Structure 1
Amino acid sequence: MDETGNLVAADFAAQLKQAFANLRAALAAVGATPEEVVKITVLSVDHDAEKQQLISATRNQVWSGDRKPTSTLIPVPRLAVEGLLFEIDAVAAIPNS
């Protein structure tokens, strides 16, 4: 969904891109960066090899190198909101300043 709560598109790649943009915005809102994410959980509707390649490529753009968060992928038949095809949940360890 976009920042106003509207569904981006009925396209997996577009929703994937938006979800990662939303994740970056949520992290920035609390003063965190993707490097501080220690775990992600991904929900993928009607998951297949093509979707896996898209998820991996996008994840590798956000987290390159040796320090990647642990990752769990859960294929699901549908999500809570009609039309959603992808969801990501992240846990960040933000050091005290």
Structure 2
Amino acid sequence: MEKHFLNPPELPNWEQSFSQIVTVSSGSSKTIYLSGQVAMDQHNRLIGECDLFSQATQAFQNLAKALVSVGATTQDVVKLTIYVKDYQLADANRVSEAFRNAFPHKNLPASTWLGVQSLALDGLLIEIDAIAVMEV
């Protein structure tokens, strides 16, 4: 079994706190663990202040960038966890639209949506982590 801990430059830089991606290769498969992706650009600037749809879109874009950096796509994602600050039922449409833009294919990953009181930084409204599996 081989493990790699990665912090691609296309993503926000949190390497003093955690790795953005951990891959575990065993035999002919690779499991990809993606840390929670938020609405920050590669320079750690918040995108879409006070706008859940814009933040969800950015978080899903960061998720896609993380996947591409290890040769994967959203089709390889098997599990998502979505955390929404102060979640209300009306938020579902905005998150769902951003989700379907990022995952347009038929076979969707298993997912859990959670409403949370707060996230790691002020201004963040959503965080999305994922697990992907692919053949190598």
Structure whose CA Rg is larger: 2
**Aligned residue among 70, 88, 98 for 1:30:** 70
| Bigger RCO of structures 1 and 2 (CA < 8 A, at least 6 apart) | 1
Match of 1:50 in 2: 90
Q: Which residue of the partner structure matches residue 112 of structure 2?
A: 72
Pair 1:59 & 2:99 matched: yes
Match of 2:135 in 1: 95
Q: Output one character per residue of 1:4-59: Cα deviation in whole Å (capped at 9) or x when no partner.
A: 11111322121111101101110000000000000000000011122111111222
Match of 2:79 in 1: 39
Q: Specify the alignment match of 2:46 in structure 1.
A: 7
Task: Count matched residues.
Answer: 96
Tell me how large the CA RMSD over aligned residues is: 1.2
Alpha-carbon separation, structure 2, partners of 1:6 and 1:77: 22
Going by fraction, where is strand more abundant, 1 or 2?
2
TM-score (norm 2): 0.66
Which sits farther off after the overlay, 40-49 or 61-70? 61-70
Provide structure 1 residue ranges, at least 5 long, that are not aligned to the other structure: none
**What code does the residue aligned with 1:80 have?**
A
Q: Which amino acid aligns with 2:47?
A: V
TM-score where L is the length of structure 1: 0.91
Work out the CA distance in 2 between the residues paired with 1:48 and 1:39: 22
- Identity percentage of aligned residues: 38
Rounded Cα–Cα distance in structure 2 between residues aligned with 1:47 and 1:26: 25
